[in-house]
Amino acid sequence: MIRLNNPKNPKIYKPNTRLIRSLFVLRGIEQNKLAKELGITKQYLSYIINGQRKATEIRKKIAELLSMPYETLWLDKEDK
């Protein structure tokens, strides 16, 4: 569960974490391999999926990879 008033990390973004992780499993996507393909660490990818980092470009790539609308996965409007 994400606490929106977390004093240690006030910038928390709202992803649909369960849906993202479920789609990874259904499509056989391993986070380790995806992180390597994206050129980021496993930890950073986890932060993005859990909403602790925004990384809009990576979020767009994940949405495209999962064939899902950006807004469905990330529960916010796409930055333009």
Which tokens in the block code for residue 45?
């990818």
The answer to whether residue 11 scores a pLDDT higher than 70 is no
- Write down the pLDDT at residue 1: 45
Question: Residue 66: helix, strand or coil by DSSP?
Answer: coil
CATH topology of domain 17-74: 434 Repressor (Amino-terminal Domain) (1.10.260)
pLDDT in tens, 37-71: 999 999 999 999 998 898 999 999 999 999 999 98
Instruction: Tell me the pTM.
Output: 0.77
Range from 27-36, 45-54, 68-77 carrying the lowest mean pLDDT: 68-77
Higher pLDDT pick, 15 / 9: 15
- Write down the pLDDT at residue 68: 92
The amino acid at 75: L
Q: Which residues contact 27 (CB under 8 A, 6 or more apart)?
A: 66
